[in-house]
Amino acid sequence: MTEEQGGARQQRPAASAESVVLNANTTFYNAFEAGDLDLMAAVWLPEPDPVCIHPGNAAIYGYAEMMRAWAMIFANTPYIQFFLTDVQVRVDEDVAYVTCTENVLSSGEGAPEEGFAGGKALATNVFRRTKSGWRLWIHHASPVLSSGGRQEEAE
């Protein structure tokens, strides 16, 4: 793309790979919050077998199994919102990863009646570059213990 400035044409810088990967990461969380199975399906890399590990659950291997799991999650999650902190991105040729802290607000199972529950997880999202853009290959989220940990006791 070019842009006219004072009669001279200047080349606009292309988006950095890091910013494109961060946008793909945002799209994943937007699909999750919206409960949008079509958008979630478009985020994931179908081959080679993707992997998804939610906090406290067994790994889900393969695109078809994962899409079934997302459909169940969306059907049983009336509300979820993510506030991402500590976001870091690394791109190495055709593979990239984003690490972040997922600060989660949700309703549904585990939340007080007619209320919300909060939680925190550390997540790693691994992306692969494809002809159609960066696609999520691996999502792994681990819960953060909110109290009683040795680190807290030492401080």
Closest CA to 127 of 93, 95, 101: 95
- Do the Cβ atoms of 105 and 129 come closer than 8 Å? no
pTM value is 0.81
d(CA 15, CA 99): 20
pLDDT at 13: 56
pLDDT tens-place string over residues 117-144? 788 999 999 999 999 999 999 999 999 8
β partners of residue 95: 92, 128
Closest CA to 82 of 148, 139, 15: 139
pLDDT at 48: 87
pLDDT tens-place string over residues 56-101? 899 999 999 999 999 999 999 899 999 999 999 999 999 999 999 9
pLDDT at 8: 54
Residue 45 has pLDDT above 90, yes or no: yes
Helix (H/G/I), strand (E/B), else coil: 96: strand
